[in-house]
Amino acid sequence: MKGLGWQPSSVFRIASLLALCLILYLPPINSVPFFDKGEPREALEVQYIVTEGQWLFPLKSKGEIPSKPPLFHWTGALFSLIWGETNEATVRFPSVFYATMGVLLVYLFGCKLFDPRVAFLAGVILATTFIYQKQAVEARVDMTLTFFVTASLIVFYFLYRRWIAMRLAFYGFYFLLGIGVLAKGPVGLILPALTIAIFLALRRRWDFLSKLCLHSGVVLALGIGLSWYSAAILQGGEEFVGRQIVKENLARFFVYGEGGTGHQKPIYYYGSYFFLQGLPWSLLLPFMMIHWVKHGSLKEESFLFLGIWIAVVFGFLSLSAGKRAVYILPLYPPLAVLTAQWLQADKKFSAIENLGLRAVGVLCFVVAVTLAALVFWDVYGSRLADFISSFESRNRQDELKLIVNTVLQDRRWAFRGFVGVGAFLWFLTGWKFFKLRLRGVPLQLSLVSIASWLCVQTVLVPPLAHARSYAPFMKEVKGVTAQGGELFIYGESFDSSSIAFYHGAPLPLLEDNPAALLHKLGSGRVHVIMKEKEWEEIQKTVSAPLDLIVIKSRGTGPESDAPLVLVFR
C-alpha cells in the first residue's frame, strides 16, 4: 500500500479534481431557477432559518413539519449568511460542497488502497458519473447523506488498517456517524454500521467489532442524533413524531400498500437504475464483475470492504417499501474506486469477453449514429420537435415541443455543436471498445460524460426551467405588490413552494370558495395568485366581465399543468 505523499504530483491531481468539480458543478446552480417540487421545499427551510433565526427546528411553508433532519439546511443557511442573501445558488451550494469533498475523499482513499493513478481516476469517475453530477447541483439532502456515509466508512477503514494512529481519530469516526444521522435520519447510521458489522464478521475480527461497540465514542454518535431528535420532539410534539419518525422512517421502510408512504416500488426496482445512473462508466460493469469472480478479488480485504459497502446500500434500500432512484447514491463512491482499479489493472479477456466488449463498441456506434442523425435532421429542416416529443406522454408533448423549439431557435448552434461533439466522442469510444484498446477508454468516457453534462446544463435544462418556473412571474408579482395591498394564494390545487420562496415568506391561503374569493377581491387592494383554469371557470359564473387586472405566468409549474394568474384591482 502506498501513502499519499504530498509530492507536487499529488497536489496537482488534487487541484485538477477540485477544478473539474467546480467547472462541472458551479455554473448550473446559479443559472437555473427552481422549477420542480423538491428544491423549493428544501429552500424554504433554509430561508426560514435565515429570516427567523430558527436553527434547531426549521419549518417549511405554512408551518409544516420538516420531513428530514436539518444538516443540509443548516449548511445552506450558513452559506446564505456568508453570501448575504438566500437564493438558488446558496441553497444548492451545500450539494456542490459535499460532492466536491466526496471526490477528494475518494482520491485520498484510493491513494492508500492502491496508488495515486488509480485514486485520481476514481475521483474523475465519481465526479463524472451521471447521478453524482445531477445530485451535486440540486438542493436535496441526498448528497449530504452520501458524503457522511462515505467519510465515516473511509475513516473506519483507516482505523481498521491502523493508517491513523491517533486515539482521537476514533471519536472523529463516531462524530461522523452522529452527524450522518442529521443528514437524513437513522439511515445515516444504519448504512455504515451494517457495512462495518458484516465486513468485520466476514473477516472474523470480533476483537475490533467489540472494541467499536464498547468504545465511549458510541455515546457521542448516539448523543448527537438523539439530542436533536429529543429537542425536535419537545418542540414539534406529536406532529413531529408522526411526520418524521413514523411516516418518513418506519412507514417508508416497513409498510407496503395502504398505510405506507409514497414512492412504493418492487424489490427489484434498483436493478436497472443501478446501471443507468452509473453511466457512462457502468458500461464496464459486466466485465468488472467477471474479472472479480475469475480472480477471486473479493478475498482481498480492500475489495471485500468496497464490495460489502456497495451490497449493503443496494440490498438494504431494496428491502425498503419506499424507493427513489437517488437513494442508492452512497454506493457510487466505492464503485468508482473499484472501476478505477479495474481499468488500471493488467487484464486478459476471454473470447466471450472480447465479444462482449465489441458489442459495447457497437452500442456506442449506434449512439454516435443517432446523435449524428439528430444534427443532420436539424440542419435540413425536419420537424425535429415533433419527432422528439413523440417519445413523451401526450400531456407533456406540447411542453416538450416548446422546449425543443426554444433550443432550436435560441441555442441551435450550441445544440448542433454539443450533439456533434457527442457523436464524435461516442464513435471514438466505440472504436476503442471494438478494437479492444481499453487503455484509452477512461479518457473517452470522461469526455463523453463532460460533453453530455455541459450540453444538458447549458442547452436543455434552461428552456425546461423557463417553461416551468414561477420565478419570472413572482418578479412581476413583487413589482405590483410593492405598491401596497395584501397578497394571497387561492386554493391548494398547485404546489406553491416556489411561490413562497420567491416571495420571501409563506403566503396566507384563501379557501377554495369562488363566492368568498369574489367578495375578497371586491374589498379592494387585494392580490390573489391562483391557477389560470380556476380563474377562467370563475369568470364563466358571473354575468358581466369582472373589472380586474390579470397577470399571467409563462411558467406552467413542476407538473406542467398549472399556469398561474395574479388577479387584483
Give Cβ neighbours of residue 315 (< 8 Å, ≥ 6 apart): none
Q: Specify the pLDDT at position 251.
A: 72
Phi and psi for 186 in degrees, rounded to 5? -55, -25
Residues present in the chain in total: 569
Q: Is the pLDDT of residue 330 over 90?
A: yes
pLDDT of the residue at 341: 94
Residues 155-197 pLDDT 10s: 999 999 999 877 889 999 999 999 999 999 999 999 999 999 9
Mean pLDDT, residues 271-283 taken together: 95
Average pLDDT, the chain: 88
Residue 466 Cα distances to 358, 412, 438, angstroms: 41, 17, 41
**pLDDT-derived band at 1, boundaries 50, 70, 90:** very low
pLDDT of amino acid 401: 65
What is the mean predicted confidence (pLDDT) over 6-34? 90
Q: Can you tell me the mean pLDDT for 543-560?
A: 82
Q: Which residues does 379 contact at the CB level (< 8 Å), separation at least 6? A: 416
Per-residue pLDDT tens over the stretch 284-321: 999 999 988 888 877 899 999 999 999 999 999 999 88
What confidence category does residue 568 fall into, taking pLDDT thresholds of 50, 70 and 90? confident
Contact 253, 322 (CB under 8 A): yes
123-134: per-residue pLDDT in tens? 999 999 999 999
* Residue 56: strand, helix, or coil: coil
Residue type, 522: G
Rounded-to-integer distance, Cα 110 and Cα 202, Å: 22
pLDDT value of residue 532: 92
Per-residue pLDDT of 366-424, as tens digits, reads: 999 999 988 887 666 556 556 665 555 555 666 666 666 666 667 778 888 988 999 99
State the helix-helix crossing angle for 351-379 and 285-295, rounded to 10 degrees: 170
Would you state the pLDDT for residue 318?
95
CA–CA gap between residue 366 and residue 351 (Å, rounded): 23
User: Is the pLDDT assigned to residue 247 strictly greater than 90?
Assistant: no
| Percent of residues, the chain, with pLDDT higher than 70 | 90
Task: Tell me what pLDDT residue 391 has.
Answer: 56
Q: Give percent of the chain with pLDDT exceeding 90.
A: 59
Q: Evaluate if residue 15 carries a pLDDT over 80.
A: yes
Quick one: DSSP state of residue 325? G
88-111 pLDDT tens trace? 999 999 999 999 999 999 999 999
Residue 26's pLDDT band (cuts 50, 70, 90): very high
Which residue(s) pair with 550 in the sheet? Answer: 567
pLDDT digit string, tens, across residues 373-387:
888 876 665 565 566
The predicted pLDDT at position 148 comes to: 98
Average confidence (pLDDT) over 494-502 = 92
Phi, then psi, of 138 in degrees rounded to 5: -110, 145
Tell me whether strands 564-568 and 549-552 are parallel, antiparallel or unpaired. Answer: antiparallel
DSSP per-residue codes, 430-441: HHHHHTT-GGGH
Section 533-548 average pLDDT: 80
Looking at residue 281, what DSSP letter applies? G
Stretch 269-281: mean pLDDT, rounded? 94
CA–CA dist 73, 77 (Å, integer): 6
- Residue position matching grid coordinates 422512517: 249
Cβ atoms 485, 568 nearer than 8 A: yes
pTM of the model: 0.92
pLDDT of residue 231: 85
- DSSP H helix total and E strand total for the chain: 26, 5
Identify the burial level of 353 via C-beta atoms within 10 angstroms of its C-beta, where 0-12 means exposed, 13-18 middle and 19 or more buried: middle
Q: Is the pLDDT of residue 13 over 90?
A: yes
